[in-house]
Amino acid sequence: MIVLPRGIGPALSCGITFLAKCMSMEKIVIFTGAGVSAESGLKTFRAMDGLWNDHAIEDVATPEGWARNPALVLDFYNQRRQEVLAAHPNAAHEAIARLESMFDVTVITQNIDDLHERAGSSKVLHVHGEILKARSSIDPELIHTLDTPTIAPGDRCAKGSQLRPDVVWFGEAVRFMDESETLFANASRVLTIGTSLTVYPAAGLVKHAPYLAEKYLVSPDVQKVPYGFHFMRGLATTVVPHIVTCWMEGRSPVR
Ligand code: APR
C-alpha cells in the first residue's frame, strides 16, 4: 500500500478531478472575422470596394506599401489602434467568453483587435497579428507590447530597426496555422462568425472541421457557406448569444 503524506491525498484527487474535467470537456472552435467586431464600431474590410477606411489595401496592408511610405502606414494603424482602444466588446464577444464555463473553447480570430480577450476569452489565437503590439521591421519574432497608442517614425526595436505594427500583411506568413488546423480537426463544434472567408490561407481552416462536428456560420449576408456548415443569417450580437444559450442548455440552435 502507498501511504501519502498528510494533505497530499485531497490535493491529488482535486487535481485529478480538474484534469479529468478538462479532458472530458467538449472542444469548441470559434472562428471570427471583422463582422464579430462590426457592432462594436470597428469597420469590416470587404464592404468598401477594396478600400479600408478610405485607403487602398495595397497602400496600408502590404510590405510594398510599407516600403513606399512607412509614415503613412504608421499613421493609418495609429488611427485604427485608437479606434480599437475606444471600442468595447459586444454581446457576441461576451457570449463566446461565457462558453468557457462548460466547454474547452479556443477562439481563432482573423481580427487584430483585443475584444475577445477583453470580453474574457482566455485562449485566443490571432492568425493575422495584434494591433496593440509592435514588431521589429527586420525580425518578425521580436515583438513588443505597446505602452503608448502610437508608433512614430524613429521608434526602434532592440536591434535598431524601425518598429511596425504587429499585423500580418498580404503576402506575409499567417500565424498559428498548424495549431489552428489541429484545433479545427479535433473540435466537436465549430462556430464561424462575421468573415467573408475570402482571405487565404486563414479562410481554408474551415475545411479541417470534422464531417460529424456541429458547424455554423453566422453573418447577415454571405458569399459562400462552407460544406457541412449551417448558415444562420443575422447579426453577431443577436445570433451568437442565441447559439451559446442553446449550447449551454443542451438544445439545438436551429428551430
Ligand atoms: N455580424 C456578423 N457578421 C457581420 C456583421 C455583423 N454585425 N457585419 C458584417 N458582417 C459580415 C459581412 O457580411 C462579411 O461577410 O462579416 C464579414 C466581414 O468580412 P470581411 O470584411 O472580408 O472581413 P474578414 O473576413 O475578417 O477579412 C479577412 O482580410 O483584409 C484582411 O487581414 C484582414 O483579417 C482580415 C481578412
Q: Catalytic residue numbers?
A: 128
Per-residue model confidence (pLDDT) at position 147 = 87
233 near 222, Cβ under 8 Å?
Answer: yes
27-42+89-128+173-255 and 43-86+131-167: identical CATH topology: no
Please tell me the residue having the least CA distance from ligand 1 atom 29: 199
197 near 186, Cβ under 8 Å?
Answer: no
Q: What angle do CA 230, 255, 226 make, to 5 degrees?
A: 5
Q: Which residues pair with residue 190 across a beta bridge? A: 29, 215
Per-residue model confidence (pLDDT) at position 187 = 98
| Residue in 44, 90, 169, 238 to alter for ligand 1 test, most ligand atoms within 8 A of Cβ | 44
CATH H-level superfamily of 43-86+131-167: SIR2/SIRT2 'Small Domain' (3.30.1600.10)
Per-residue model confidence (pLDDT) at position 44 = 87
What is the number of the ligand 1 atom nearest to the C-alpha of 52? Answer: 30
CA–CA gap between residue 180 and residue 190 (Å, rounded): 12
- Does the beta carbon of 236 lie inside 6 Å of ligand 1? yes
Distance 190 CA to ligand 1 centre (A): 17
Distance 29 CA to ligand 1 centre (A): 18
151 near 78, Cβ under 8 Å?
Answer: yes
Structural domain boundaries of the chain?
A: 27-42+89-128+173-255, 43-86+131-167
Name the grid cell of 83: 479606434
pLDDT tens, per residue, the chain with 255 residues:
455 566 666 665 655 555 555 557 999 999 999 999 999 999 888 765 556 768 888 999 999 999 999 999 999 999 999 999 999 999 999 999 999 999 999 999 999 999 999 999 999 999 999 999 999 999 999 998 898 999 999 999 999 999 999 999 999 999 999 999 999 999 999 999 999 999 999 999 999 999 999 999 999 997 789 999 999 999 999 999 999 999 999 999 997
Q: Which residues of 13-29 are buried (b: 16+ CB within 10 A; e: fewer)?
A: eeeeeeeeeeeeeebbb
Per-residue model confidence (pLDDT) at position 69 = 97
CATH T-level topology, domain 27-42+89-128+173-255? Rossmann fold (3.40.50)
Per-residue model confidence (pLDDT) at position 3 = 54
Please tell me the residue having the least CA distance from ligand 1 atom 13: 221
